Structure 1
Amino acid sequence: MAAPATASASDQVVTRVSAADRAAALAYWTPERMRQWAGDDSLPPAEKIGRLWEGPVPAGVGRLFFTAVPGVDESCTATVVPSATNDVALTAGHCVNGGLDRFDNPIKIVDVVFVPGYDHGAAPHGVFPVRAFAWSATYSGPTSGTDDDAVLALDPVDGRHVADVAGTQDISFEKPPSPVDTTILGYPVSRLAGGEALLSCARPATLETNSVVSAWRTDCDLAGGSSGGPWLRDFDPVTGKGTVFGATSRGTMNEDGVTLDLTSAAFTDPVRALYERAGDL
């Protein structure tokens, strides 16, 4: 098991994973297990706005696999971002904060690995075990849309850091003018690809602010599994590079399981501090 999450002096909640548990995570996530959702007819309907990404997966983007104890395998999306250690990725807070079960017991997240460039079971850059993950103490869990962001510290694989082999996307904590042309990337586990391929939406995003939360919203219809995926401005589809200004947090679904819209929590000072200290994990 991962070490219990604890609040640090920097107002972050950090979980560190032992070397033995990181090795167990690598053994657990075989290519066959990663592909377990493909072809499942019970998955949400195929996206109509989101499109399968053509060509190589953009720099730093990949699929995040994990298990929510007592044994529910899940996946999200994450993005490698610049860091002094070259081993930091950004995802959604709810991808690594399981919240509470119906008995108010914490749901532990274990067997966490990141696969940059994932494509139909292929791991072109390797499978990277997560040695630590953290979210801001201002994020209260999956029921909250505020500061729904987390950072991952990844082990090198064969002596190579993830940023060196998979590249990075730039990141900015300055709010762009609203609306902003946005490219959203993710690995939704829907009937279109079952999480096996990257999808994208190119849509304008609008900043919505109320007394509770400040969030970007767009009508992108990527299904679950796209959580944690980057919201990029100034994205160049030729180079596959842009600037991250958010990560997929929530979606509204209708009774048929179709995603009607997606939101991304607007970056705040606590999330900036989380990112700036990620190299210490």
Structure 2
Amino acid sequence: MLRVLAALVPVVALATPAVAAAPPPATVNHSYQARSAQTTAYWTADRIASARPAPVPAGSVRSTPAAGGAEYGMPQNGPADQGSAHTTQGTVQRYTTPGFLKRVNGKVYFTSAGQNYQCSGSAVNSADRDIVVTAAHCVYSNNAFVTNLVFIPEFEDNVRPWGTWTATEAHITRFSAQPQPDLAYDYAVFEVAAQNGRQLGDVVGGLGWAVNSAKSYAGTTFGYPADSVNQGRYLVSCSDTTYENSRDPRTIGLACDMYGGTSGGPWIRQDPGNTYINGVNSFSYTSDSSQEYSPYFTNDFRNLITNADAD
């Protein structure tokens, strides 16, 4: 059984085959009405404090698409001196280093079926410089796209140093399949409205991105756990070597025990002068919560970024 990042609820094991169904669309897009002021005003301190970790649906297994060759997309948009992401191996700890990595990480808030929820996310570089990457279950829930979707970079104790950025478009790939969404595609992209003529990437920068790369690398995951201690108030990180998930090779694992609320937080790999997103917090198994799992980023993720830029 799975322990999802968002909540300790039993879901179908990944080894259980899904009921035969028509293949889901490669990409599903959703447009939000231009209501930036109203959406920003909606997220009061009280609503933020009461937002729950987002629930994850049951996972499923389907055929594995061809991965293709390794590809590194746009480099990071931000200072070359980004600071090291690596922390004590396998230890979840508060991330306090000021600068690029703290700025591009943030909280994702949304409403679904009348309930407010919280996730994590990150600003990612693209041609339009307006993209946030998170988990698909933080954008698509209860068989519909969520509402009141926002990103708050470098959130800490309800301080919003770079403002609240409201979604204009959301994009998922293959995740919306029925009867069960596919956790191997549990990633999403959403675009945010400019503020004072400046895009998100102009203000906080953005991570580069990588697809089809080695499944084993020195990785670091970030997020805002909504446990009894943190309560989603500040950013944490955890570093370890990633590995292929033997239960579903379309996903990768990391020996870090993250909590609900960190869903959608980035998995990053660093090269000299560049930091790439190469996964997102998605789920863990109830039988071993010490291991975190992410979709393995393939051409489908790259196409999602390209599709968002084409809007």
SS in 2 for 1:231: strand
SS in 2 for 1:58: helix
Q: Structure 1 residues 95 and 50, CA, compared in 2 at 3 Å: closer, same or farther?
A: same
Among residues 273, 276, 280, which one is paired with 1:243 in the alignment? 276
Cα distance in 2 for residues equivalent to 1:23 and 1:251: 36
Q: Structure 1 residues 197 and 138, CA, compared in 2 at 3 Å: closer, same or farther?
A: closer
SS in 1 for 2:149: strand
How far did 1:235 drift? 6.8
Cα distance in 2 for residues equivalent to 1:272 and 1:81: 12
Q: Structure 1 residues 79 and 198, CA, compared in 2 at 3 Å: closer, same or farther?
A: same
SS in 2 for 1:79: strand
5+ residue gaps in structure 1? Answer: 1-9, 39-47, 100-105
Among residues 3, 10, 18, which one is paired with 2:33 in the alignment? 18
Cα distance in 2 for residues equivalent to 1:139 and 1:109: 13
The reply to whether residue 33 of structure 1 matches residue 47 of structure 2 is: yes
Q: Give yes or no for contact 2:50–2:116 (8 Å, CA) kept in 1.
A: no
SS in 2 for 1:35: helix
Amino acid at match of 1:94: H
Cα distance in 1 for residues equivalent to 2:146 and 2:175: 19
How far did 1:259 drift? 3.5
Please name the residue that 1:102 is paired with.
none
Among residues 133, 136, 148, which one is paired with 2:186 in the alignment? 148
Please name the residue that 1:5 is paired with.
none
Aligned residue pairs total 247
Identical aligned residues as a percent:
25
How far did 1:169 drift? 1.1
Amino acid at match of 1:49: T
The reply to whether residue 228 of structure 1 matches residue 264 of structure 2 is: yes
The reply to whether residue 92 of structure 1 matches residue 135 of structure 2 is: yes
Cα distance in 2 for residues equivalent to 1:138 and 1:98: 10
Please name the residue that 1:118 is paired with.
155
The reply to whether residue 160 of structure 1 matches residue 198 of structure 2 is: yes
Please name the residue that 2:116 is paired with.
73
Q: Which runs of 4+ in 1 moved over 4 A?
A: none
Amino acid at match of 2:109: F
Q: Could you give the per-residue CA deviations for residues 200-229 of structure 1, whole angstroms, max 9, x where no partner exists?
A: 00111101256x651111221110111111
Q: Give yes or no for contact 1:139–1:148 (8 Å, CA) kept in 2.
A: no
TM-score normalised according to structure 1 size: 0.80
Amino acid at match of 2:31: R
How far did 1:24 drift? 2.7
SS in 1 for 2:137: helix
Q: Give yes or no for contact 1:139–1:146 (8 Å, CA) kept in 2.
A: no
How far did 1:275 drift? 1.2
Cα distance in 2 for residues equivalent to 1:81 and 1:108: 21
1:123-272 to structure 2, matched below 5 A, reads 123-137=160-174, 140=177, 143-176=181-214, 178-208=215-245, 213-234=249-270, 242-253=275-286, 259-272=289-302
- RMSD between superposed Cα atoms in Å: 2.4
Please name the residue that 1:58 is paired with.
102
Q: Structure 1 residues 136 and 270, CA, compared in 2 at 3 Å: closer, same or farther?
A: same
The reply to whether residue 278 of structure 1 matches residue 308 of structure 2 is: yes
Please name the residue that 2:64 is paired with.
none
How far did 1:242 drift? 2.0
SS in 2 for 1:19: coil
Cα distance in 2 for residues equivalent to 1:203 and 1:54: 18
Cα distance in 2 for residues equivalent to 1:82 and 1:51: 26
Q: Structure 1 residues 232 and 108, CA, compared in 2 at 3 Å: closer, same or farther?
A: closer
Q: Give yes or no for contact 1:62–1:115 (8 Å, CA) kept in 2.
A: yes
5+ residue gaps in structure 2? Answer: 1-24, 53-89
Cα distance in 2 for residues equivalent to 1:150 and 1:37: 20
SS in 1 for 2:168: strand
Q: Could you give the per-residue CA deviations for residues 128-178 of structure 1, whole angstroms, max 9, x where no partner exists?
A: 0001101013653774212111101000122221111111111111312x4
SS in 1 for 2:275: strand
